[in-house]
Amino acid sequence: MKALLLYKEQDFDPKKPLPWNERDLVQDLELPVLLNVMAGNDELVLEVVTKTILDAVTNSLDTIHYRQDILKDCLQYPAVVRLLYDITEGALDVKRTGWFGVFSKYPSAILSDGLRLMEYFVDMLKQLRKVADANAGKFHSEGFNRLFMMLQNELKDAYFEEIQHHLVSLRFEDGILISYTLGKGNKGSLPRLHRYQGKRRNWLQRLFPKKDRVYTFNIHPRDEGGARALSAITNEGINRVANSLAQSNEHILGFFKMLRTELAFYVGCLNLYDRLTGMEAPVCIPQPVPAEEHRHSFSGLYDPSLALKMNRKIVGNELEAEKKSLVLITGANQGGKSTFLRSIGVAQLMMQSGLFVPGQHFSANLCTNLFTHFKREEDVSMTSGKLDEELSRMSAIADHVTSHSLFLFNESFAATNEREGSEIARQIATALLEKNLKLFFVTHLYEFAHEYYSNNKDGKAIFLRAEREPDAGRTFKLAEAAPLPTSYGLDIYNKIFGQG
């Protein structure tokens, strides 16, 4: 049995390595805030959502739509999804409550604990079947309908009856019947366990048995050697059936583990949804388009990590960038440019992982790689200058560039003078744009920004500037505008001293 809640045709692989730049993505996009809210103190949920989101760029349109349909069911019936997760968690708790006999080297211990474990699993499977029966007609996604159908087809009443029959037989309440082939020196070999065919005896018949018509012998209660020999014969006879039962338990345990793992992603989605909607922050199901269609169209887009840290709804941004390869952002310091850039990166990962997106509407093309190149604060551990460190990181990115990659640059190459920084930024941006890649570039390098603004003859670039909202507060939004030749700091200086 397979869960298949994250992929149509394959299980989720928890051992799949993360992208080579996962540390940069986590740091630059401030993902820990988001991931910890999704986890809700559940280590498995944290592990699964982290790997699923960071590996999102490998997903296809079909996979994204498949997960989105499942997510819609989760948002409509959250209690059912959490119940399924709790059932699987209860099944896996068996490993923490003393079921260690299955790891014993003695077949009798393996069989004894294996029987108890199977009885426990049967109860959990019956609970899954009950959930499937109650909800099979309510859910609409292919993933959940296939899961419920599989549970109903595989876990029929006849299946449970057959298991119960085997469990009763394996208790050997009427004794164990084992036959041996006589080998050299009349030593027994090739043990074979037989099913008991006689009628079960009641307690009176067992207390006063009829005289056996076969040769028998009884071991004296104090005959320790005889008891050990009989135990060895018994273990040898039940070895294969004990191992088979242990393997069956491992198979069922593996199903519960995979189902819980894949449900963990959607439990994380529900946790995040509850937090964001609880503060009246909008979320939407995004519309992904093929990677070849350069598109970024959204309204009300915001950085969810910032909203979660502030615990309130924050102002979002709008953009209509159809067939654009460069989005260049300038404007005031602390005007929300870096926050906007993070919102782009987080939304891209959330969309491609099959999640909802923080905003009122979001549509973008898929990317095959997401790269972030954010400025770093001074670090005493640096062995070279800041510019060398920036160029080194850019060189590492260049080694992993693929077609349809998305780049997020945040004040890159500003660790030198204006002219040199602008030239470095221009050469790198030009090389990437010639490969038809998409760039979001936040910069204070006016020469660099102005050159692209002046030469935007093909219309593939769009220019945004952080501007103060009319409320005269500290709220800024991004709007289409030409880059300014001054920084916000210089504007304040001129306003105070009346210069310029």
For residue range 326-344, list pLDDT tens digits in order: 999 998 777 789 999 999 9
Q: What is the pTM of this model?
A: 0.84
320: pLDDT strictly greater than 90: yes
Vertex 221, ends 216 and 226: CA angle to 5°?
65
Residue 117 binned pLDDT confidence (cut-offs 50, 70, 90): confident
Which helix (H) or strand (E) covers residue 351, if one does?
A: helix 337-353
Residue 233 binned pLDDT confidence (cut-offs 50, 70, 90): low
C-alpha to C-alpha distance for 50 and 34, rounded to whole angstroms: 10
490: pLDDT strictly greater than 50: no
Q: Region 115-127: what's the mean pLDDT?
A: 82
Q: Region 14-24: what's the mean pLDDT?
A: 92
Least confident of 47-61, 182-196, 325-339, 431-445: 182-196
pLDDT tens string 391-425: 999 999 999 999 999 999 999 988 888 889 999 99
Tokens of residue 355, six digits: 């999640």
**Cα distance from N-terminal residue to C-terminal residue, the chain:** 73
User: 95 φ, ψ to 5°?
Assistant: -75, -15
What is the predicted pLDDT for the residue at 488? 44
Between 63 and 243, whose confidence is greater?
63
C-alpha to C-alpha distance for 10 and 8, rounded to whole angstroms: 6
* Alpha helices, H only, 104-185: 107-135, 142-154, 157-169
Task: Indicate if the alpha-carbon torsion angle 423, 424, 426, 431 is positive or negative.
Answer: positive
489: pLDDT strictly greater than 80: no
474: pLDDT strictly greater than 70: no
Q: Region 55-81: what's the mean pLDDT?
A: 96
What is the predicted pLDDT for the residue at 377? 74
Task: Indicate if the alpha-carbon torsion angle 447, 449, 454, 458 is positive or negative.
Answer: positive
Between 332 and 30, whose confidence is greater?
30
Return all residues near 81 (Cβ < 8 A) that are at least 6 apart.
Answer: 73, 74, 263, 266, 267, 270
* Strand segments (E) across 323-475: 326-331, 357-358, 361-365, 369-374, 405-410, 438-442, 461-468
**Residue 192 CA, distance from chain mean position:** 47
What is the predicted pLDDT for the residue at 31? 96
Q: Region 64-93: what's the mean pLDDT?
A: 93
What is the predicted pLDDT for the residue at 410? 94
Residue 156 binned pLDDT confidence (cut-offs 50, 70, 90): confident
What is the predicted pLDDT for the residue at 205? 61
In whole numbers, what is the pLDDT of the chain averaged over residues? Answer: 83
Residue 382 binned pLDDT confidence (cut-offs 50, 70, 90): low
Q: Region 103-128: what's the mean pLDDT?
A: 74
Return all residues near 293 (Cβ < 8 A) that are at least 6 apart.
Answer: 323, 365
What is the predicted pLDDT for the residue at 356? 97
Q: Region 321-330: what's the mean pLDDT?
A: 93
Return all residues near 44 (Cβ < 8 A) that are at least 6 apart.
Answer: 260, 261, 264
What is the predicted pLDDT for the residue at 482? 84
What is the predicted pLDDT for the residue at 493? 43
Least confident of 219-233, 312-326, 362-376: 219-233
What is the predicted pLDDT for the residue at 240? 67
Among the listed residues 61, 66, 56, the one whose alpha carbon sits nearest the alpha carbon of residue 406: 56
| DSSP classification of residue 330 | E
C-alpha to C-alpha distance for 54 and 49, rounded to whole angstroms: 8
What is the predicted pLDDT for the residue at 416? 83
The answer to whether residues 365 and 293 touch, using CB atoms and an 8 Å cutoff, is yes
* Strand segments (E) across 355-483: 357-358, 361-365, 369-374, 405-410, 438-442, 461-468, 476-480
Between 322 and 246, whose confidence is greater?
322
Between 100 and 7, whose confidence is greater?
7
210: pLDDT strictly greater than 60: yes
What is the predicted pLDDT for the residue at 325? 94
Least confident of 239-243, 295-299, 309-313, 327-331: 239-243
User: 185 φ, ψ to 5°?
Assistant: 65, 25
What is the predicted pLDDT for the residue at 328? 94
What is the predicted pLDDT for the residue at 423? 93
Q: Region 358-386: what's the mean pLDDT?
A: 85
80: pLDDT strictly greater than 90: yes
What is the predicted pLDDT for the residue at 193? 60
The answer to whether residues 132 and 145 touch, using CB atoms and an 8 Å cutoff, is no
